[in-house]
Amino acid sequence: MKLHITTTKWVIMDKQRTVIAKGSPRNRHLVSLDDAKDKKRILFYNSQGMARNGYSTGFYTFGLPKDWDEYKLEPVEVEMIIQEK
């Protein structure tokens, strides 16, 4: 039997779906989806509220890069599939 896991997660993207939040929770970057050379990990969140806090309130906004203000960010629900080949 092959491994097959499906789960729902949340990510931070802009409304036009051109950039996604990558990096680590303390070192976040907005990266273009067209950037094939980027090797940073996608930041996944367990809930919509946690994803929203990742760019909007309290401690999480301290030190955010200024370019985050240029985008209209929102939490986006995604489906993650882990499947054995």
Query: Which residue ranges make up each domain of the chain?
Result: 4-83
- What global pTM score does this model have? 0.82
What pLDDT is recorded for position 62? 58
Q: Would you place residue 43 in the very low, low, confident or very high pLDDT band (cuts 50, 70, 90)?
A: very high
Once rounded to an integer, what is the mean pLDDT over residues 47-57?
Answer: 87
Q: Which residue has the higher pLDDT, 47 or 30?
A: 47
Query: What DSSP letter does each residue of the chain carry, written as one string?
Result: ---EEEEEEEEEEETTS-EEEEEETTEEEEEETT-TT--PPB--BSSHHHHHHHHHSGGGGTT--GGGGGS-EEEEEEEEEEE--
Mean pLDDT taken over the chain: 86
Once rounded to an integer, what is the mean pLDDT over residues 46-66?
Answer: 75
